[in-house]
Amino acid sequence: MEKMVGYCGYNCHLCAARSDDPEVRQKLVDGWRKIYGHEHYTVENVHCVGCRAEGHHADLECKARPCAVERGVDSCAACDDFPCDNITAFETDGHGHHRQAIQRLRAMREGA
């Protein structure tokens, strides 16, 4: 399976929002509510097509996607302002998958 990497460096194949199973997405919604306080997320609005595709995107709070689209960059790693506040906030949120996304962006930037 080819990796699908979002603008922010996150491996989208790891995200439960891409699941067709509503029970899997409900667990994600419950977690986001508990961890981040995102009360407006529902099983219906977290069914994501991936941030590079046109259509529905799970994280309505995402700041990286709209910024990357506006700037016309392939990823945040290609942006002149990398790393910016949209990305560095990931490093301090305590979630390993976010730190891995930052590491992936840095590796992409270095051409690794």
Mean pLDDT, the chain cut into blocks of 10 residues (112 residues total):
75 86 93 83 84 73 87 92 81 63 86 64
pLDDT in tens, 39-56: 888 888 888 888 877 776
What pLDDT is recorded for position 72? 94
Residue extents of the structural domains in the chain? 12-110
- DSSP 8-class letter at 77: G
Q: What amino acid occupies position 83?
A: P
Q: Are 14 and 4 in contact (CB under 8 A)?
A: no
**pTM for the complete prediction?**
0.73
What pLDDT is recorded for position 94? 53
What pLDDT is recorded for position 32? 83
Q: Which letter, b or e, does each residue of 63-86 get, where b requires 16 or more Cβ atoms within 10 Å of its Cβ?
A: ebbebbeeeebebbbebeebbeeb
Q: How long a stretch of residues is the chain?
A: 112
